[in-house]
Amino acid sequence: MKVLLIEDNVSLIHWLARLLKEDRFVVDTALDGEVADQLLQMQHYDVVLLDLQIPRLSGKSVLRRLRARHNNVPVLMVTASGSVDEKVECLGLGADDYLVKPFEVRELVARIKALARRQAGEKQSDLTCGDLSYNNDTRQFHVRGEPLALRLKEHATLEILIKRLGKTVSKTTLMEGIYALEEDASEDAVEIYIHRIRKKLEGCQAAIVTLRGLGYLLQQKQ
């Protein structure tokens, strides 16, 4: 699950990014509105955390531009202001949720997960492929009820595949989803993650199929 964190407080942004990464989120950051606007035009995100008071381009302006491009990515506004009028204005501009500083990290993570689920239209709490299951609330994988041990990139890869269950996912889409901007994306590494996941799914009813020139497909074994 990939998140864009837009905040001009360097200490806060580093702290939030670290905590979100520990919870298996892929995190990109932007310290001002212009950079954020450019990233939103180039990258796909599952959720955007947007501070209102940022330099060069305000949070409201970033939100206006985003919605003017008909980009419906969920946006969680984060601000020190608890004004009802400001909250109503942001929601009117297209924000999906509003969180006032200071906040509990647990609440922030819960809201991110809720927005991501709503965007994907996932009504059920679990996604299943044979005896492989994924819980949207805990973001945990299980095989026949037993937890599936995955490294960070393996988890991000399988998460993308199960959320697009039965659909072909290109290698480019996987790379964009599992790597943050500061990381060196590698097609070879993606192939390694797929290989490792396949090894861990041996004996499972779910399988990752390679479609040459197209990408990968998670499906139940025939």
Domains, the chain, in order of start with CATH, read 2-120 (3.40.50.2300), 126-220 (1.10.10.10)
The pLDDT value recorded for residue 33 is: 96
Could you give the CA distance from residue 161 to residue 165 in angstroms, rounded to a whole number? 6
pTM of this structure: 0.83
Sheet holding 132-135, edge to edge: 126-129, 132-135, 140-143, 146-147
Could you give the CA distance from residue 49 to residue 78 in angstroms, rounded to a whole number? 7
The pLDDT value recorded for residue 206 is: 96
Residue 44's SS3 state is coil
Residue 196's SS3 state is helix
| Positions of the chain with pLDDT lower than 50, given as ranges | none
Sheet holding 47-51, edge to edge: 26-30, 2-6, 47-51, 75-79, 97-100
